[in-house]
Every structure is written in structure tokens, then in C-alpha cells.
Amino acid sequence: MTDEESDPPGSSPTHPVDEILRTTRSVRRRIDLDRPVEPRVISECIEIASQAPTGIPAEAWRFLVLNQVDPKRALAGLYRRALATLAETLGRPVKPSQQHLADHLEEMPALILVCAQGRPAPDSVPLQVSFYGSVLPAAWSLMLALRARGIGATWTTLHLLHEREAAEALGIPEDVTQTVLLPIGYCRDAVLRPAERRPAAEITYWNRWEGKGEDS
């Protein structure tokens, strides 16, 4: 970029990464179920995800990629059971897009289960924050890296209602914690837009909790 093209001081330039950050949404229905996601591309995205911050123990993240029918089917069955439980608890059907994902889960080109070596400390908030905080940023980086390559995903956790059964089905050791499950596939004409969110001024306090904002 030349000096003439650069943004004036004090303005907020639109960085290419902003577009990805603003438009990485759940993609459930507009996934091409017939197009496999190349293992090489998944590995590349995991390589990028592993640049996320890591705490103690370092690099505890593990990625279990399911791209064969049997393991995907095993997890899909557990996921559907969990969704049915959720609908029962809510006393109403879940959103059609959520139901659609559940109905087609084993047809998704791949399911990526993000795990962490170890178990969270039961009684220590700082250790729990450190534990999950050391793996979930990598899961989000993974979703962003996939999105940058035209691959949609959904951040899901429902199957964790049956974490033990999933572990048995997939051979996951007892000292490994499952976190997010990302069903992924190339997007079919998905137009991804920024979500409606509260403005930063409403959710940000400066210097003291419940301050009214920058200008107060």
C-alpha cells in the first residue's frame, strides 16, 4: 500500500481478517455433503489452529477428525439423543436448522472433535479457565481457518451430554476431555453476514464496572 492509499490517522482501516471475523457463522444447511474435505486442507487448518495461545500444560489440544462413516454415525446417534433431550427440556422443538444438522450429521464430510489432554480441576475456577482457555481459542482459530478456505462449520457441544459413550465409541482415553465438535464441509452458496449484536459501547466498561462508556 502506498502512502497515498493508506488510511488517515485515527481512522479504523478494514483489515482483510475483519471480514472473516465478522462473518464466521454457523453453517448447517448450506454444506455440500457430496464434496469431501481434503485431509491435507484439514491438517493445514489444524496447523494454523495450533498457533493459538496455550497455557499449562502447553499444547494440550488434540484433534480427532472423523471422516469415515462408522465413527461419524456413532457420534451422530449420540448427538441426536442429546438434541431430543434438549427439546424435551425446552418444551418445544429446536430450530429447524439445528434439527437439520442433527438429521444429516453423519453425512457431513467430516466431524472434528477438539479435545484436551487432561481433565478440568473440579473445584478451581482459575484452573478451569486455564484448562478450557488453553484449547477453545484453537477451536475458534480452526473454524476461522476453515472459513477462510470456503469450509463452513458449526460450533456444537450437545454430544457432550453423552461424553463417556462417545469416548468409548471412539477410543478416547479417560484422561482426555472432549470439548467442541465441529461438523464441517464446503459451503454451497452460503452468504455469510455479520450477526445482529449489541454495540461495543453497550457491553464495554472503562476503568470501573457499570461505567456508562468512554464518554461518561
**Does residue number 156 form part of the binding site for ligand FMN (CB under 6 A)?**
yes
**Does residue number 201 form part of the binding site for ligand FMN (CB under 6 A)?**
no
Q: How many residues bind ligand FMN (CB under 6 A)?
A: 10
At its nearest, how many Å lie between ligand FMN and the CB of residue 171?
22
Choice between 26 and 130, CB closer to ligand FMN: 26
> Which residue type, as a one-letter code, is found at position 62?
R
Piece in contact with ligand FMN (CB under 6 A), picked from 36-44, 118-126, 152-160, 171-179: 152-160
Scanning residues 94 to 133, which ones bind ligand FMN (CB under 6 A)?
A: 98, 101
Choice between 164 and 212, CB closer to ligand FMN: 164
The burial class, CB within 10 Å (0-12 / 13-18 / 19+), for 79 is buried
186: left (phi over 0), alpha (psi -120 to 50) or beta: beta
Choice between 71 and 183, CB closer to ligand FMN: 183
Q: Which residues of 45-64 are buried (b: 16+ CB within 10 A; e: fewer)?
A: bbebbeebebbeeeebbbbb
At its nearest, how many Å lie between ligand FMN and the CB of residue 112?
14
Q: Which of 84, 121, 195, 201 binds ligand FMN (CB under 6 A)?
A: 195
Alpha helices in the chain (DSSP H): 16-23, 39-49, 69-90, 96-103, 125-133, 136-148, 163-170, 200-203
Scanning residues 47 to 76, which ones bind ligand FMN (CB under 6 A)?
A: none
Residue 162, classed as helix, strand or coil, is: helix
73: left (phi over 0), alpha (psi -120 to 50) or beta: alpha
Asked if residue 75 lies in contact with residue 66, where contact means CB atoms within 8 angstroms, the answer is yes
Q: Which of 155, 163, 169, 190 binds ligand FMN (CB under 6 A)?
A: 155
Provide the binding-site residues for ligand FMN, judged by CB under 6 A.
25-26, 98, 101, 154-158, 195
